Amino acid sequence: MSNIKQKKRGELIIISGTTCAGKGTIIKKLLEKHKDMRLSISYTSRAIRGNEVDGVDYYFISREEFERKIENHEFLEYAKVRYGEYFGTPKKEIEEVLESGKDVILEIDVQGAKQVKELFPETILIFILAPSFEEVKRRIKARGFENNEQIIDRFRTAYKEINEIPKYNYVVVNDQVEDAILKVESILIAQKCRVDRIEEIAVENEEEILHEFIMGKEYNNEKPNYNKDTK
């Protein structure tokens, strides 16, 4: 009866979350299951740490080069964090992936999410929460490489971020990882069915539809009974 053509452009998805909410694990699993998704790689001016790889974990550039990119408006969002180091999300690379029809995931904080949402109002914002602060505390201690001052600072930041949840489209509590992944997948499936993703609808002529219906009934020797009670 109709032919619906949807827009090819991919979805821009922001996944944020409080400390130790497990957003990194969720994103990793999503990318493993969905080969049509891409994770945006951020630029940073800080030095490489440990086993990090340039072009995989981050694009590592000098502070001077980062500031040149800011002047040239090459970032969707950027921030200057503690110790004066920069982090930023590239604009051109993301646009190219979206135009190719693939979805892009950004793992950024609430401040960066607000900046991107202003430029791309259609961005899907998902906030990942740990089931409780007690669980957050347990997960931080299990990592075992942060002192009390750093832990307190993380909690303080988490409280501020939770107040920003109303600005997001969805919130997912990560109690069980597989359940949380299923919820995020359900959100993305629903987003693909939005009416504003329809580019064109070709609807057949009403008379043609009625004619085909009647002829179909006759062809199958199933003449419609118009006197039959349809209640």
Residues 169 and 65 in one domain: no
Q: How far apart are CA 108 and CA 78, in angstroms?
A: 10
Residues 141 and 194 in one domain: yes
Q: CATH number of the domain at 113, please.
A: 3.40.50.300
Residue type, 207: E
Question: What values do phi and psi take at 30, rounded to 5?
Answer: -60, -45
Residues 146 and 193 in one domain: yes
Tokens of 226: 């118009």
pLDDT in tens, 125-155: 999 999 887 887 787 777 766 778 877 887 8
Residues 194 and 112 in one domain: yes
Looking at residue 133, its pLDDT comes to 79
Residues 198 and 162 in one domain: yes
Q: Which range of residues forms the domain containing residue 23?
A: 1-36+102-205
Looking at residue 5, its pLDDT comes to 76
Based on the structure, what is the number of domains in the chain?
Answer: 2
Closest CA to 123 of 105, 109, 111: 105
Residues 3 and 112 in one domain: yes
- The answer to whether the CB of 115 falls within 8 A of the CB of 155 is no
Residue 219 lies in a domain: no
Residues 194 and 124 in one domain: yes
Closest CA to 106 of 176, 11, 177: 11
Residues 119 and 138 in one domain: yes
pLDDT in tens, 74-116: 999 999 986 789 999 999 999 999 999 999 999 999 989 999 9
Residues 114 and 178 in one domain: yes
Residues 23 and 124 in one domain: yes
Looking at residue 160, its pLDDT comes to 85
Residue 23 lies in a domain: yes
What is the chain's mean pLDDT, rounded?
A: 86
Residues 16 and 129 in one domain: yes
pLDDT in tens, 158-190: 888 888 999 999 999 999 999 999 999 999 999
Query: Which range (21-30, 38-47, 158-167) has the least confidence?
Result: 158-167
Looking at residue 59, its pLDDT comes to 96
Closest CA to 98 of 117, 77, 123: 123
